[in-house]
Structure 1
């Protein structure tokens, strides 16, 4: 559910746009800001909403002293949430995992150009949006590090606030079944925890310990929930008398697997889609590279799509 927009929010957007060189009339800039606020405040945004945007902008201000051009970071933060693509929409449409990021980038590119922003600055905003969707900035790009850290700052909150974040995220991704959601979430948490530091900017490092503790607790809980779901699915399939003929037929065709293992694999495959760890994982879910490709792939893909596609990621937002 969206938050009420304070008066300063629209004014700050207009100021940032003018600082990065937009030549459009102030009235046009106000209309652009109002359109973006409406997008962020859409009813289906339980988590990636206007409050999330305001928190990100606040966190940019907190660590902006290490950035060369914080106004470009603010504008990128506004546009990176122009589209929130739901998991089911993307899967059924057969889009690639970077679809949401591409939509946001194309929208920002078109709108900023029409508002008189230079090609060089527009290209920089496009680049920054891409970094946010991957939750990682280049090692020597200090401004991008500030933006990405501000976007992830909500990970560093109290356990009570973190629980609210998880609840809102699950509500926003209602199209995913429990196992799909858990697998996608586990993949993202493991990726974030694999980094030597989650936060890359000098001032963002203050959030590290609390954020890492929250992620580790959630990962432990999700691993347990995943095991329980898989066990329940296997037991349910084994107890179903209608499956007895299918089970025998599958066992007869087996070469290297035991009957028990085949039953387990068939059960999960039949009742709950199984996604390989090598599938594209976004901040909000698991996506095949293309809908027609097999679920199991040998490629190792680094890119994640955020709102951020909302399959962006099982992406963690900022806390209230």
Structure 2
């Protein structure tokens, strides 16, 4: 994985930003600070780097890979576990708009990034949306991890919600897992779906079974 600051600059410039390098670097530093907030245990710089690396590996599947990269940068940029529903995704999308306007990114590109960020609220990418498919697949890659790594991910998410009573957390988490299992497809890109669907479903079913007991 490239240096994150370099990756940010390349994506912003690839999307058509007109701002100078200093302004681009300042926005990137502000984003990195958000991803490094102390209340994060899973939604961290490591998660960001993982999503970006998958986008890099699979960029041939995308129509506008730099917009997918920018959406990856912003998709969890606002992350407050106390926020209900899709409030974090909406706030992240609006942060993206403000930041990218400041950097002189064209309006059509900004609209594309905003749409992609909002898509991560439910991960229901359509079959005719390769950019959305790539972002959602990359964001959900952790679900296909080996069992020990998946369990570490689930434990990190629980730490982010440590203020939630156990019974309430179990019910909320189970709702999320069932939503993922009920998606028409967990992964949309054919090569990723072939490799990741079976282990991901196995992990989700295993965690759901543990939550229900």
TM class, shorter-chain normalised?
Answer: over 0.9
- The corresponding residue for 1:210 is 199
1:99 positional shift: 2.0
Distance 1:117 1:132 in 2: 22
Of 10, 20, 28, 2:23 maps to: 28
CA, structure 1 residues 61+203, in 2 after alignment: closer, same or farther (shift >3 Å)? farther
Contact 1:105 1:129 in 2 (8 A): yes
- The corresponding residue for 2:151 is 163
Higher RCO, 1 vs 2 (CA within 8 Å, ≥6 residues apart): 1
Q: Is the counterpart of residue 46 in structure 1 residue 38 in structure 2?
A: no
- The aligned runs of 1:87-236 (5 Å cut-off) are 87=82, 90=83, 97-205=85-193, 206-224=195-213
Aligned to 1:17, the other structure's residue is in SS state helix
- The corresponding residue for 1:308 is none
Cα RMSD between the aligned structures?
Answer: 1.4
Contact 1:63 1:204 in 2 (8 A): no
Unaligned runs of 5+ in 2: none
1:138 positional shift: 2.0
TM-score by length of 2: 0.95
Distance 2:106 2:185 in 1: 34
Aligned to 2:98, the other structure's residue is in SS state helix
- The corresponding residue for 2:69 is 74
1:63 positional shift: 2.1
Aligned to 1:134, the other structure's residue is in SS state coil
Contact 1:86 1:173 in 2 (8 A): yes
- The corresponding residue for 1:276 is none
Residues 61-86 of structure 1 show CA distances to partners (whole Å, capped at 9, x for unaligned) of: 22222111111100011011221112
Contact 1:146 1:204 in 2 (8 A): no
Aligned to 1:133, the other structure's residue is in SS state coil
Contact 1:40 1:82 in 2 (8 A): yes
1:103 positional shift: 1.1
Contact 1:112 1:122 in 2 (8 A): yes
1:139 positional shift: 2.5
1:7 positional shift: 6.8
Unaligned runs of 5+ in 1: 1-5, 91-95, 225-320
Distance 1:78 1:119 in 2: 18
Computing the radius of gyration from Cα coordinates, the structure with the larger value is 1
